[in-house]
Amino acid sequence: MAKGKNGKSEKAAQKAGPGTGFDLDDPTFPAELEERALKSGGYPYDDKLKRKVYEEQLQVLQLELIKLQAHIEQAGERLVVVFEGRDTSGKGGCIARILERINPRHSRSVALSKPTDAERGQWYFQRYISHLPTKGDIVLFDRSWYNRAGVERVMGFCSEDEVARFLRDAPEFEALLVRDNIRFFKIYLTVGREMQLKRFHERRHDPFKQWKVTEIDIAAIGKYDDYSRAEADMLRFTHTAVSPWTVINANDQRRARLEAMRVILGALDYEGKDRAAIGEPDPKITQTGADYLAALNGKS
C-alpha cells in the first residue's frame, strides 16, 4: 500500500467515495473528474475569471481596502471577519489578498492550532477572545470557533451534546461582539466535490503545497456528505439577523476573493468610498446563509 508523508498506510482513507476512481497518491488526476471540477456543486460559470480581469479588479478593491483601514484606524473601530468553509475552499487565499496591501501593524490573520490541554479545560470560546482586535485594528480568522460545528463534529473530536451547546451559544457570543460595536462578518466558502478532489490532488503532488496536506485533510476526502450535513446545521442555527452568514461558491478562487472583498467593502461606510468601483456581489455565487440553506433544502 502507498504510504503518506507520515509513513502510514492511507490507501483506504484516500478514497473519495464509491465510483469516483480517485486515489490521492496517483500522480494523474482522473480526466472525468477534471472535466466536471469547475461546474461541480452547481457552479454557474463555464470558465475561470481571466487573470488580467482579476488583477485589474483586485487592484481596485485593494485600494478601497486601504481607504477602509484608514477609516477604521482614525475612527477607532474594530473589524472582525470569520472565514470558514470546506477544506481547499481558499480561505487562506482570500485572507492573504485582503491583507496584502493594508498596514500590517493594524491588521492580522488568526489561524489557531489544535487546543492545548489547558485550553481544552476552558470555556470553549475563551481562547479566541484574546485574539479579538483593539480599537483601530482588523482581525481575520482563518477558521474560528466554528471548528466545533465542522471538523470537530465530523471527525468525532467532540460529543453531540457539545455540538448542540455550541450551536445554541455561538449566536449569543456573537451578539455580545456586535453589541460592543465590533463590525462583524462571517463568510463561508463552499466548493464542489470534484473541485475539492482536484485541489487535494494538487496539494499532494505540488512540492510547494504539500505542507498543506494533513491527516485530517486526508480523512476528510471521504466525508464530503458528512460535512454537508454539518454545514447545514451550522447555517440553520447560527445564521441570525445580528450575525448573518454570507456564503460564496469558491470553485473559482479568483472570483471568490473578489466577492469576499465586495461583501466587506459594500457593507461599511468610509471616506472616499467608490461604490461604482466596488460594485455589487455576484448573486450567482454569493448568497445569504438563509438563501443558501433554502437552496440546499430544495435539492434534498
d(CA 258, CA 219): 30
Q: How far apart are the first and last CA of the chain?
A: 37
Q: Cell numbers 479545560 label which residue?
A: 121
Residues paired with residue 138 on neighbouring β-strands, in sequence order: 79, 107
Q: According to the model, what pLDDT value does residue 20 have?
A: 58
Q: Kindly tell me the burial class for residue 180, based on how many C-beta atoms sit within 10 Å of its own C-beta (0-12, 13-18, 19 or more).
A: exposed
Q: Which DSSP helix (H) or strand (E) runs through 158?
A: none
Q: Which pLDDT does position 14 carry in this prediction?
A: 45
pLDDT confidence of residue 241: 97
According to DSSP, residue 247 is labeled E
Give the residues across from 185 on adjacent strands: 81
> What single string gives the DSSP state of each residue in 242-257?
SS-EEEEE-SSHHHHH
220 vs 269 pLDDT, higher one: 269
Instruction: State the residue for C-alpha cell 470558514.
Output: 84
What pLDDT, on a 0 to 100 scale, did the predictor assign at position 300? 60
Whole-number pLDDT of residue 217: 82
Mapping DSSP to helix (H, G, I), strand (E, B) and coil, where does residue 187 land? strand
Q: Strand, helix or coil at 81?
A: strand
Report the pLDDT averaged over residues 96-122.
97
- Determine how many CB atoms are found less than 10 A away from the CB of residue 62: 16
Q: Residue 80's beta-bridge partner residues?
A: 139, 184
The predicted pLDDT at position 4 comes to 42
Of 60-74, 89-103, 174-188, 286-300, the least confident: 286-300
If one compares 9 and 135, the residue with the highest pLDDT of the two is 135
Residue 269 and residue 289: Cα distance in Å, rounded? Answer: 23
**Better-predicted residue by pLDDT, 22 or 133:** 133
Q: HSE of 281 in the Cβ direction (CA atoms, 13 Å)?
A: 22
Round to whole Å and give the CA distance between 4 and 7.
5
- Position 94 pLDDT exceeds 70: yes
Retrieve residue 113's grid coordinates.
492550532
Looking at residue 96, its amino acid is A
Residue 179 grid cell: 453589541
How far is residue 243 from each of residues 40, 155, 176, 288, measured CA to CA in Å? Answer: 29, 26, 10, 11
Contact 46, 226 (CB under 8 A): no
* Whole-angstrom distance, CA of residue 268 vs CA of residue 179: 17
CB atoms under 10 Å from CB of 254, counted, come to 20
192-217 residue pLDDT tens? 999 999 999 999 999 999 888 888 88
Q: Give the integer Cα–Cα distance in Å for 141 and 100.
A: 15
More confident: 115 or 297? 115
Q: Higher model confidence: residue 249 or residue 4? A: 249
Given a cut of 90, is residue 21 above it in pLDDT? no
Question: Domain spans of the chain?
Answer: 45-299
Find out whether 200 and 221 touch, Cβ atoms under 8 Å. Answer: yes
15 — pLDDT class (breaks 50, 70, 90): low
| Count of CB atoms situated within 10 Å of the CB of 280 | 9
pLDDT score of 1 more than 50: no
Just give the CATH number of 45-299. Answer: 3.40.50.300
120 pLDDT more than 80: yes
Phi, psi of 16 (to 5 degrees): -85, -5
Count CA within 13 A, CB hemisphere, residue 112: 21
Q: If you average pLDDT over residues 139-155, what whole number do you get? A: 97
As a whole number, the mean pLDDT across the chain is: 92
